Amino acid sequence: MNDTKKDQVQLQRSLGLFSSLALVIGTVIGSGIFFKQASVLEYSHSTTMALLAWFIGGVITLTSGLTIAEIGAQMPHTGGLYIYMEKIYGKLWGFLSGWMQIIIYGPAMIAALSAYLSVLLLAFFGLPQSYATPLAILSITFVAIFNLLSNRYGAVFQIVTTICKFVPIIAIIILGLFFGDHNALGQVASSNTGFTGSNFGVAVLATLFAYDGWILIANMGGEIKNPQKMLPLAITLGIGLVLIAYMLVTLGIFRVMPAAMIQHYGEDATPHFATMAFGVLGGKLLNIGIIISIIGCMNGKIMTFPRIMYAMAHNDELLFSKQLSYLNKKMHTPMVSTTVICLIAMLMVVTVNADRLTEICIFTVYVFYVMAFFGLFKLRHKNPDLLRPFNVPLYPITPIVAILGASFVLVSELMSDIKGVLISFIFIAIGIPVYYYKLHKRKS
C-alpha cells in the first residue's frame, strides 16, 4: 500500500529540446574555455597545435556523446550512467558508478564551482577574502532553491544562464575574427622544452576536462519528453555547438593577443583580452558573463546529480532510501536528495580542497565511461536484431574513438597522479560494504 502511494508521485516528463540542450551546454561550458587558453597553448607550443588540441578534444567528446546517446535511447530512465552500468554489467557496477558520483564527484564539482565563483565575486565587488566561504555556501543555497521547485524552474534558469553565457562568447568571437590583426595560425609559444607528443597529449587532456559534463543530461532521462528522440538530439547538438564555440573563441583570442602575451597573463589572458578590447567596462562585463556561466554550470549539476541519488534510493540501495527517494507531491522533485547533495557540497567547501577532489575522481569517472562505451558492443552483440531508437553513426569507428579517448585520460592520470588514482579507488571501495549491507537487508 505504501509503495503504491509512493509510486503515485512521479518525476514529470516536462523537459523539451531547448531545456535538454541548455542542460548539455550549460553543464559543459563553465570557466574552462575562458581560463585554460594559456595552459593549452603552453603544452601545444603553437597556436596551430593548440587549436588542433581543442578540436581533437571536441571530437573525442562528440564520439563519446554519440556512443552514450545510443545506450541512453534504449534506457531512457532517471539515473543515467548508474542505470546503464546496472543494465549492462549488473547491480554492483551500477551501484558503484552511482555511489562515486553522489558521495564524492558530484558534490565536489558543485563545491569547486562555488569556490571559484566566490573568488570572482570577491574581485568583482571588492570584498575581503573572509567573505569567500559564506559566498560559496550562499551560491549553492541560491541555486538549490530553484531546484527544490518544479524542474521547469530549474530548466528555465538553465536556459536563461546558457543564453547569457553566450554573450561574452559571441563578443570574443566577433571581435577576434573581424577586428583582430594577428594571424591565429603559426604563432609559436616560448618553451624550454619545445613541442613533444607527450606535451601535446597533456594539452588534449586539458581540453577534455573543459568539455566534461555532457553526460549529466542522461541523469534526467525520466523527465525528458520523448527521451528516445530528445536525448540523442540534445547530446549531439549540445556537444557540437560547444565544440564550435570553443574553436571560435580560441581563434578569436589568438587573433587579438599574440602567443607570448597569452602565456604572460596565464589564466588572466581572457579577462585581459576583454580589457584590451572593450576597456575596463568590457572587463567587468566579461566577468559578469563568466559569473553567469559558472552559476549556470552549477545549476546543471545541482539539477542532475540528485537524480542519481533519487534513482538509487528508489531502488532501495542507499541508507535512508525511504527519505532520499521522497518526491514532493506538488513540485515532483527529489527534494531530500537535492538537499543532501548540496549539504555534502557545502561541507566540502569548509573542510577540503574540492577542486583537488574532482581531479582525484576524474580517473574513476573515466573508468566507468570506458566500461559504458564497451557496453555498446555488448548490447549490440546481445540484441543484434533490436530496433534501436538511435544508432550511433559510423559504427564501430565512433565508439572505438570514444574508448581510445577515455583510455588516454586513464593512462595520463596513472602517469601523472598515481596517488590520486589510489585514493579514488578507496572512495569506491567504501561503497562495497554499503551495497552488500543493503542487499542483505532487502533479502532478510
Which CATH number is 340's domain given?
A: 1.20.1740.10
Say what angle helices 91-100 and 354-382 make with each other, to 10 degrees: 150
Could you give the CA distance from residue 2 to residue 18 in angstroms, rounded to a whole number? 36
160-199 pLDDT, tens digit per residue, is 888 888 888 888 889 888 887 788 888 887 665 455 555 7
Conformational region of residue 320, where left means phi above 0, alpha means psi within -120 to 50, and beta covers everything else: left
pTM: 0.86
Closest CA relative to residue 327, chosen from 158, 75, 150, 144: 150
The pairs formed by 166-172 with CB atoms below 8 angstroms and a separation of 24 or more are 166/245, 167/289, 168/34, 168/274, 168/285, 168/286, 168/289, 168/290, 168/293, 169/29, 169/33, 169/245, 169/248, 169/249, 169/289, 171/274, 171/278, 171/286, 172/249, 172/252, 172/253, 172/270, 172/273, 172/274
Residue 49 in domain: yes
Alpha helix ranges (H) inside 315-396? 321-324, 335-351, 354-382
Residue 15, SS3 per DSSP: strand
% of the chain with per-residue pLDDT over 90: 38
Residue 270 in domain: yes
What pLDDT sits at residue 220?
A: 82
Could you give the CA distance from residue 81 to residue 66 in angstroms, rounded to a whole number? 14
How many folded domains does the chain comprise? Answer: 1
Could you give the CA distance from residue 296 to residue 292 in angstroms, rounded to a whole number? 6
What pLDDT sits at residue 3?
A: 47
Residue 136 in domain: yes
What pLDDT sits at residue 377?
A: 96
Q: Residue 9 — pLDDT band, cuts 50, 70, 90?
A: low
Residue 357 in domain: yes
Could you give the CA distance from residue 345 to residue 228 in angstroms, rounded to a whole number? 32
Answer yes or no: is pLDDT of 140 > 90.
yes
Closest CA relative to residue 269, chosen from 97, 31, 12: 31
What pLDDT sits at residue 143?
A: 92
User: What nine digits make up the cell of 126?
Assistant: 571588492
Residue 7 in domain: no
Average pLDDT, the chain: 86
The pairs formed by 126-135 with CB atoms below 8 angstroms and a separation of 24 or more are 133/349, 133/350
Residue 3 in domain: no
Residue 405 in domain: yes
Residue 1 in domain: no
350-398 pLDDT, tens digit per residue, is 998 877 877 788 888 899 999 999 999 999 998 888 788 899 999 999 9
Could you give the CA distance from residue 80 to residue 215 in angstroms, rounded to a whole number? 8
Give the structural domain span for 116.
Answer: 12-443
What pLDDT sits at residue 407?
A: 93
Answer yes or no: is pLDDT of 57 > 90.
yes
% of the chain with per-residue pLDDT over 70: 94
Judged on CB neighbours under 10 Å (0-12, 13-18, 19+), 221 is buried
Closest CA relative to residue 285, chosen from 162, 181, 180, 165: 165
